[in-house]
């Protein structure tokens, strides 16, 4: 495997799959203003500070003082590195009028001077800036080509990892048209202006002995140096989480099978103007901060003060979270910077704040900065970056009603990248407009297929229950009419029930009265029968007593008669 040296330049090591070839020369070419010199100096500074590898900068155009002043704004302190013997800056003045062309002319003096600089600090890295100034005094092409080859061979024999900068030629990568052939690695920088917007692109033209990214990659020169923003070099190898993040609206959470979003996923709210996308986004940010987590909010349409004031009117107060440092609102017009600049700002703030969630409201405004493909490419890099860092991302996007809209096309390009897509829309009825919400997709969990009407109240967003009418789901005034009809029907049913209860009560009372009368009549009959029975019993007793008395008298008379006869 080809040994490589890491440059320390953000993104460049990803594209080159590990850095520049160790102990070999690398050519960086491009037109004026594309950052060749800066890339070379950053290669030396990062090597000294991050990898402990001293370096030599040999400049043929600018003096050491000029170079030091130029890179000071980027935080590169060249004098301090020189004092620590981690860097040596040597300016060589080449004047064509002083060059005497002879058959024996060569660069031996340069080799001696450069070799001494390398040995004096034990340099591992070398930058020669720029090669045109060195060879501009050679009118003899044969001598020129011979010396270029000898220079590259000498650098290889010295074993130092070298960057050589060169100006782009007319139809060739360099002025001489030879350097790119003898270099082991060639990186082309390009500075172009499209629609009044400056963009810089980097491409690895060749890399002997190693695979590498072959596309054009945007890069930026910021206050932290050079940042290369690769697209295809990012691999889909990030970890995933089973934790759930609330949307801030309990009723919306209930529409998902896991009662919310996956942590580290990406969520997209799309809708026309006035469908409460910003309110939904702010509610999500508010919920994140309530959980004592940090949220980074990018606002492309409102200032932080305006956003806080407007959201407060719906019962969401973001001010405490700003005070506590849990919420940071970064507000700017998209046209203020190019797409790559926006991406670098996001990267920088994410590194500094380490948020748990990022909100961008709205991404559709970025279409004013670049075309659809560029915006989609930028958002692809952004979504991948946030996923790799396990950050939950929420985006809002404005769409229009027409399918031919550029913004709609952007929405279609982004919607396939996100994990959850929620559509908010206008539900137009007779003489009114209402808001509806539906989940179009949610990777990894079940979700509701209903279109839920919602309203914005003083307590935030409230999802209304689904009301089904004869023609389907009804909203707005139709919902009110349906509710009134349902209430009237319920009242009629209640009144009918009450009437039946009253009728039942009346019948019960009649029945009870009838039963009472029958009971009274029964008691009368019973009493009469008891009286008759008593009377009959009395007669029977009297009759029995009478019969007993008669027999006794007859026996007594019979006894008297017998005595008398005797």
Reduced 3-state DSSP string for 186-227: EEEEEEEEECCEEEEEEEEEEECCCCCCCCCEEEEEECCEEE
Name the band, by pLDDT with cuts 50, 70 and 90, for residue 185.
very high
Would you state the pLDDT for residue 40? Answer: 93
Q: What average pLDDT does this structure show over 395-405?
A: 67
Least confident of 132-146, 232-246, 548-562: 132-146
Query: What pLDDT is stored for residue 129 in this prediction?
Result: 87
The CATH class given to the 244-466 domain equals: alpha beta
- pTM of the prediction? 0.67
Q: Which range, of 315-329, 358-372, 439-453, 545-559, averages the lowest pLDDT?
A: 545-559
Q: Establish whether the linkage from the previous residue to 174 is cis, with ω within 30° of 0.
A: no
What the block records as the tokens of 418 is 């996100």
Peptide bond just before 130 cis, omega within 30 deg: yes
Q: Which residues contact 411 (CB under 8 A, 6 or more apart)?
A: 270, 364, 397, 399
Is the model more confident about 260 or about 370? Answer: 260
According to DSSP, the residues that pair with 222 across neighbouring strands are: 225
Output the CA angle 467-472-473, nearest 5 degrees: 35
4-230: CATH architecture: 3-Layer(aba) Sandwich (3.40)
Local confidence band at 470 (pLDDT 50, 70, 90 cut-offs): low
CB atoms within 10 A of CB 278: 19
Asked whether residue 103 carries a pLDDT value surpassing 50, the answer given is: no
- Give how far the C-alpha of residue 220 lies from the chain's centroid of Cα atoms, to the nearest Å: 23
Q: Which helix (H) or strand (E) holds 331?
A: strand 327-331
Same fold yes or no, 4-230 and 244-466: yes
Phi-psi region of 404 (alpha: psi -120 to 50; beta: other; left: phi over 0): alpha
Mean pLDDT score across all residues of the chain: 83
Q: Is the pLDDT of residue 443 over 70?
A: yes
pLDDT at residue 232, rounded to an integer: 45
Report the alpha-carbon distance of residue 19 to residue 3 in Å, rounded. Answer: 9
**CB-based burial of residue 101 (10 Å sphere; 0-12 exposed, 13-18 middle, 19+ buried)?**
exposed
Query: Average of pLDDT values for 129-143?
Result: 70
Residue 555 pLDDT = 73
Looking at the predicted structure, is the pLDDT value of residue 142 above 80? no
Between 103-107, 167-171, 304-308, the lowest mean confidence (pLDDT) is in 103-107
Binning the chain into helix, strand and coil, the percentages to the nearest 5 are 45, 25, 30
Query: Are the C-beta atoms of 300 and 361 separated by less than 8 Å?
Result: yes
Mean pLDDT, to the nearest integer, of 132-136?
Answer: 70
pLDDT band of 556, cuts 50, 70, 90 = confident
Q: For residue 557, what pLDDT is reported? A: 75
From 104-113, 230-239, 419-428, the region with the lowest mean pLDDT:
230-239
Tokens of 21: 């070839």
CA–CA separation, 130 and 152 (whole Å)? 14
Closest-CA residue to 41 (of 204, 225, 188): 225
Q: Where is average pLDDT lowest: 193-207, 315-329, 397-411? A: 397-411
Instruction: With beta carbons less than 8 A apart as the criterion, state whether 118 and 46 touch.
Output: no
pLDDT at 405 over 70: no
Lowest mean pLDDT among 191-195, 459-463, 484-488, 541-545: 191-195
pLDDT computed for residue 43 by the predictor? 94
User: Is-contact 399 411, C-beta < 8 A?
Assistant: yes
Instruction: Render pLDDT for 451-461 as a digit per residue (tens, 0 to 9).
Output: 888 888 888 88
Label residue 106 by pLDDT band (50, 70, 90): low
> What does the pLDDT average to over 145-154?
82
| pLDDT-derived band at 98, boundaries 50, 70, 90 | very low
pLDDT tens, position by position, 53-65: 999 999 988 888 9
| Structure token pair of residue 14 | 């990803």
Sign of the torsion angle spanned by Cα atoms 379, 385, 388, 391: negative
Q: How far is CA 412 from the centre of its chain?
A: 16
518 or 180: whose pLDDT is higher? 518
Give the span between the Cα atoms of 195 and 249, in whole angstroms. Answer: 42
Give domain limits for the chain: 4-230, 244-466, 467-528
- Which one, of 391, 363, 397, 361, lies nearest residue 265 by Cα? 391
Q: What is the pLDDT of residue 545?
A: 79
- Is the model's pLDDT at 428 over the cut of 80? no
* Three-state DSSP string of 67-113: HHHHHHCCCCCHHHHHHCCCEEEEECCCCHHHCCCCCCCCCHHHHHH
Give one DSSP letter per residue of 458-503, joined into a string. Answer: TTEEEEPPP-EETTEE--HHHHHHHHHHHHHHHHHHHHHHHHHHHH
d(CA 281, CA 394) in angstroms, rounded, equals: 7
CB 18 within 8 A of CB 24: no
pLDDT confidence bin for 472, thresholds 50/70/90: low
In the predicted model, what is the mean pLDDT of residues 320-334? 89
The H-assigned helical ranges of 200-326 are: 250-253, 277-290, 304-312, 319-324
> From residue 396, how far is each of 196, 276, 409, 451 by CA, in Å?
27, 10, 15, 19
Contact residues for 51 (Cβ-Cβ < 8 A; gap 6+): 5, 6, 8
For 217-229, write each residue's pLDDT tens digit.
Answer: 888 887 778 888 7
Q: What is the pLDDT of residue 362?
A: 85
Task: Find out whether 281 and 361 touch, Cβ atoms under 8 Å.
Answer: yes
Three-class secondary structure of residue 152 per DSSP: helix
Helix (H, G, I), strand (E, B) or coil at 241: coil
The dihedral formed by the CA atoms of 309, 311, 316 and 318, expressed in degrees to the nearest 10: -60
pLDDT digits (tens, 9 = 90+) for 496-510: 899 899 999 999 999
Q: Max alpha carbon distance in the chain (Å)?
A: 212
Where is pLDDT greater, at 277 or 431?
Answer: 277
Report percent pLDDT > 70 for the chain: 83
pLDDT of amino acid 379: 82
Query: How many other β-carbons are positioned within 10 Å of the β-carbon of residue 524?
Result: 10
Least-confidence region, from 86-100, 317-331, 401-415:
401-415
């Amino acid at each position: 495997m080809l040994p490589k040296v890491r440059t320390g330049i953000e993104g460049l090591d990803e594209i080159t799959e590990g850095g520049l070839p160790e102990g070999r020369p690398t050519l960086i070419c491009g037109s004026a203003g594309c950052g060749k010199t800066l890339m070379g100096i950053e290669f030396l500074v990062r090597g000294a500070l991050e990898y402990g590898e001293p370096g030599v900068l040999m400049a043929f155009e600018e003096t050491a003082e000029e170079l030091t002043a130029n890179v000071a704004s980027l935080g590169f302190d060249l004098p301090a590195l020189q004092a620590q013997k981690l860097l040596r800056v040597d300016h060589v003045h080449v004047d064509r009028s002083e060059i005497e062309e002879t058959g024996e002319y060569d660069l031996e003096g340069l080799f001696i001077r450069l070799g001494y600089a390398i040995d004096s600090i034990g340099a591992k890295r070398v930058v020669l800036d720029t090669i045109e100034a060195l060879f501009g005094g050679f009118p003899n092409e044969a001598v020129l080509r011979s010396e270029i080859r000898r220079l590259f061979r000498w650098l290889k024999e010295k074993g130092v990892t070298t960057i050589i900068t060169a100006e782009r030629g007319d139809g060739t990568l360099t002025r001489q048209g030879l350097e790119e052939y003898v270099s082991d690695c060639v990186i082309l920088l390009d500075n172009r202006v499209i629609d009044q917007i400056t963009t810089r692109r980097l491409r690895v033209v060749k890399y002997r002995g190693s695979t590498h990214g072959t596309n054009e990659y945007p890069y930026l020169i910021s206050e932290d140096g050079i940042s290369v923003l690769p697209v295809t070099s990012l691999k889909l190898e990030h970890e995933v989480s089973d934790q759930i993040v609330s949307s801030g609206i309990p009723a919306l959470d209930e529409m998902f099978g896991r009662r919310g979003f996956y942590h580290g996923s990406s969520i997209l709210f799309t809708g026309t103007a006035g469908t409460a996308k910003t309110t939904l986004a702010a509610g999500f940010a508010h919920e994140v901060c309530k959980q004592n987590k940090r949220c980074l909010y990018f606002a492309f349409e409102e200032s932080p003060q305006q956003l806080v004031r407007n959201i407060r009117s719906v019962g969401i107060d973001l001010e405490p979270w700003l005070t506590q440092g849990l919420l940071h609102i970064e507000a700017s017009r998209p046209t203020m910077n190019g797409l790559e600049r926006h991406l670098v700002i996001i990267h920088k703030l994410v590194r500094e704040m380490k948020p748990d969630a990022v909100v961008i409201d709205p991404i559709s405004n970025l279409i004013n900065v670049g075309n659809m493909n560029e915006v989609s490419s930028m958002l692809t890099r952004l979504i991948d970056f946030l996923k790799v860092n396990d950050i939950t991302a929420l985006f809002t996007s404005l769409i229009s009603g027409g399918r031919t809209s550029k913004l709609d096309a952007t929405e279609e390009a982004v919607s396939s990248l996100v994990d959850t897509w929620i559509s908010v829309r206008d539900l137009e009825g007779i003489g009114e407009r209402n808001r509806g919400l539906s989940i179009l997709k949610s990777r990894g969990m079940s979700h509701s297929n209903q279109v839920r009407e919602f309203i914005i109240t003083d307590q935030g967003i409230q999802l209304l229950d689904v009301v089904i009418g004869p023609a389907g789901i009804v909203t707005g005034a139709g919902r009110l009419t349906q509710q009134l009809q349902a209430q009237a029907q319920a009242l009629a049913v209640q009144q009918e029930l009450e009437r039946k209860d009253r009728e039942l009560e009346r019948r019960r009372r009649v029945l009870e009265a009838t039963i009472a009368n029958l009971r009274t009549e029964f008691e009368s009959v019973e009493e009469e029968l008891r009286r008759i029975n008593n009377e009959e019993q009395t007669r029977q007793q009297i009759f029995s007593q009478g019969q007993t008395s008669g027999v006794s008298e007859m026996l007594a008379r019979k006894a008297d008669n017998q005595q008398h006869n005797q």
